[in-house]
Chain A
Amino acid sequence: MSIFVDENTKVVVQGLTGGQGRFHGLRNRDYGTQVVAGVTPGKGGTDVDGVPVYDSVAEAVAATGADASFVVVPPKGAPKAIIEAAEAGIRFIVCITEGIPAQDEALFYNTLRRDYPDARLLGPNCPGVISPGKCNIGITSGDIALPGGPVGIVSRSGTLTYQALHELSQQGVGQTTCVGIGGDPVPGTNFIDCLAEFERDPDTKAVMMIGEIGGSEEERAAEFIAAEMTKPVVAYIAGVTAPPGRKMGHAGAIISGTSGTAQAKMEALSAAGVTVAKNPTEAGERMVEVVKNLA
């Protein structure tokens, strides 16, 4: 099993005819993902390397039965694309677009919450989701992931997500699903959503969580873990040495006052019974020990 996506997931790529869309969309297909359609207004009837392109998501869904969307559209058009996917009945929307204004994010998040409560948005500004051996939606390189579980990964960072996958795969520890939630101000899916899914998934036996400075999502995740989770969690928080008050690339990674510091997050997670590592390599090593003890 896996969470959010599996071998039956049918993906429509919004922006498939663009440079990025074509590159990532076809890579995802080459990985084995069912990439069934592309959407670019005005380019309906054409195809990208055999993947049929439609003018709208609704047409793509009607023709192919797509149930997930991969939004690879520039910041200006991404909000409209996300809402269009939800309107067409898509339940799982992955948006990798970087640089969407926070006001737009707040608006489409709340529009989805109100009008399309069954639709889940992952991102924006995230690496996507991969259930190794089954489905890869996003920009993660499939060859660094190892199928078979038993570890679920959830991460706020892009390259650190790859680092986490790499650390585990190198040690022969496979993953059920790896979710990159992204570091933007209004993420469609947060740590708790993923932790809850991993807790429910019978094949996921342990969870690795990669957080970073800023905000209070990690602290809230710690509360959830203490109250709801039976499965072991290993965590790493990036940014222990980051200077306070500086924005380090991710719009979400801003420290204000003492809340949101790496130290505060690590303490909250430790108190919730989470094994906290001081760097990604150590997190991998701790997880190897956890997995050994599962058997």
Chain B
Amino acid sequence: MDLYEYQGKQYFARFGIPTSPGAVADTVDDAVAQATAIGFPVVVKAQVKVGGRGKAGGIKLAADEDEVRAAAASILGLDIKGHVVRRLWIERSSDIEREYYASFTLDRPAKLHLCMVSARGGVDIEEVAATEPEAIVRAHVDPVDGLTLETAAAIVERAGLDEAARRQAAELLVALYRCYTEGDCDLAEINPLILTTDGRVHALDAKVTLDDNAAFRHPEWEEYAGTETSDERERLAKERGLNYIGLSGSVGIIANGAGLAMSTLDVVNQAGGAAANFLDIGGGANADVMAAALEVINTDKEVKAILVNVFGGITRCDEVAKGIVEALERVDLRSPIVLRLDGTNAEAGRAILTEHVSERLIVEDTMLGAAARAVALAGGNK
């Protein structure tokens, strides 16, 4: 789960990572009130989970009440790459001497944590990474050892941070590592990490991605739940505990297992169609799960045919078949279903469906045959 900048900064604060004083505002009046309380000048920042906010006019400096009012009015409601701004973060403006970069993430091939620090932070960090990779120091951290202040200091020095920033930056790096590990982040990134003209080091931005698998030990993450997704179909699916991603084609997809679901998208594409979604119902494909999956897909007006692709392993195909029959009684579907069942008890599953087969429920023997049929029913072309 990606956090908004303001959530990321609040998360940083839990681990003692210094940020600028600031507050959230959802209306123009609110923005003015918060700015007045914080003290001018302030920066008004759009809260969207997409990069390039500054260039899109989503970040503005304001020296007084009138300027805050104008800035907030222009940013709220702004569409930044398809993300409409509904919330602002107002924070005290900083006098920036230098912009650095710092992050922690997992280096999958090495199976170790990766710390990256650069003295060349700011908006062009990706260009720096591409053209001058040596300007970014990469250091592995073994989770068994953790990150000591000594090691952090060595990394900061190697990255060439200014003398005045080093001690604070090293301490901040240790705090960021704690946030990343104890806070169960997939990514904890600060760009820019700044040195102010009066010699303080702090995080001017926050990019935090939380590991959803760790939610069981972070009850405090509850507060992020409602702010997560903008796609109505995805919100509905999440409520029902389904792993759903909305796409733009006309063939609704239901499959068990992420790999099989991805593969189903592929074969629909190879058959000349396009998937309306990715939906993995996981291992337990009972009637409730199947009904919920069909309900979510049924809300998508673009869907012209539904392809259900199930390979029974532990999930028995006769159970899946019963689930589909029950689901059909509960859900009034707009589109025909093409079903492919294979694996454990596939014969029994198909037998259960025999009497229900119609032009609204078609059973195909193979994955490729089912994909071709669904694409044809959906009108063929992408």
B255 at the interface (CB under 8 A from A): yes
**With A99-B213, A141-B343, A144-B344: A212-B262 Cβ-Cβ less than 8 Å:** yes
Query: Residue of A at shortest CB range from B265?
Result: A241
Q: Which residues of A contact B343 (CB under 8 A)?
A: 141, 144, 162, 166
- Cα distance A115–B11 in the bound complex, in angstroms: 34
Flag if A253 contacts B143 (CB, 8 Å).
no
Assess the B144–A107 pair: CB atoms within 8 A.
Answer: yes
B-facing residues in A82-112 (Cβ within 8 Å): 99-103, 106-107, 109-111
Minimal beta-carbon separation of B152 from chain A (angstroms): 18
A280: chain B residues at CB < 8 Å are 263, 367
Q: Are B108 and A186 in contact (CB under 8 A)?
A: yes
Q: Does A159 lie within 8 Å of B260, measured CB to CB?
A: yes
B256 touching A159, Cβ below 8 Å = yes
Overall SS of chain B's interface:
mixed
Across-interface contacts of A243 in B (CB, < 8 A): 245, 247
CA distance A99 to B215 in the complex (A): 10
Q: Within 8 Å CB of B259, what residues of A?
A: 155-161, 183, 210, 212, 238, 250
Q: Which residues of B contact A210 (CB under 8 A)?
A: 259
Residue of A nearest to B126 (CB): A257
Q: Is A197 an interface residue (CB 8 A)?
A: no
Tell whether, in the assembled complex, residue B258 and residue A253 are in contact, meaning their CB atoms are under 8 Å apart: yes
> How many chain-A residues does the 8 Å CB contact rule pick out?
61
Interface string of B205-240 (1 = CB under 8 A from A): 000000101101100000000000000000000000
Instruction: Give the distance in Å from the alpha carbon of A215 to the alpha carbon of B109 in the complex.
Output: 8
| Nearest residue, chain B, Cβ from A170 | B342
Per-residue contact bits, chain A 70-83, to B (CB 8 Å; 1 contact, 0 not): 00000110000000
Given A242-B265, A251-B213, A279-B263, A110 contacting B186 (CB threshold 8 A): no
Interface residues of B in 70-95 (CB under 8 A from A): none
Chain B nearest CB, measured from A259 CB (Å): 11
Chain A residues, CB < 8 A from B243 = 249
Partner of A248, one of B113, B245, B342: B245
Q: Which of B277-292 contact A (CB under 8 A)?
A: 278, 280, 283
**A231 in contact (CB, < 8 A):** no
Asked if residues A102 and B211 are in contact (CB atoms below 8 Å), the reply is yes
Q: Is A200 an interface residue (CB 8 A)?
A: no
A216 and B366 contact, Cβ closer than 8 Å, known pairs A103-B184, A103-B211, A159-B256? no
Q: CA of A99 to CA of B143 in the docked complex: distance in angstroms?
A: 19
B16 in the interface (beta carbon within 8 A): no
A127→B311 CA distance, assembly (Å):
13
B181 on the A face (CB < 8 A): yes
Using Cβ atoms and an 8 Å threshold, which residues of chain B touch A279?
A: 263, 266-267, 270, 367-368
Given contacts A101-B184, A279-B263, contact A106 B213 (CB under 8 A): no
Chain B residues contacting A166 (CB-CB under 8 Å) are: 311, 342-343
Cβ contacts A19-62/B at 8 Å (1 or 0 each): 00001100000000000000000000000000000000000000
Instruction: Pull 18 A–B residue pairs with CB atoms less than 8 Å apart, ordered by A.
Output: A76-B217, A103-B143, A110-B142, A139-B313, A158-B258, A159-B256, A160-B259, A183-B258, A240-B269, A243-B247, A246-B245, A248-B280, A249-B243, A250-B258, A251-B213, A262-B266, A279-B368, A281-B368
Chain B interface residues (CB < 8 Å from chain A): 106, 108-109, 111-113, 142-144, 181, 184, 186, 211, 213-214, 216-217, 243, 245, 247, 255-263, 265-270, 274-275, 278, 280, 283, 311-314, 342-344, 366-368
* 10 closest A-B pairs by CB: A157-B259, A249-B258, A159-B257, A160-B259, A101-B214, A159-B260, A238-B262, A241-B269, A239-B262, A238-B263
A159-B256, A248-B245 given; name 13 further pairs at CB < 8 Å.
Answer: A76-B217, A110-B142, A110-B144, A139-B283, A139-B313, A157-B259, A158-B259, A160-B259, A160-B263, A238-B263, A241-B275, A243-B247, A252-B108
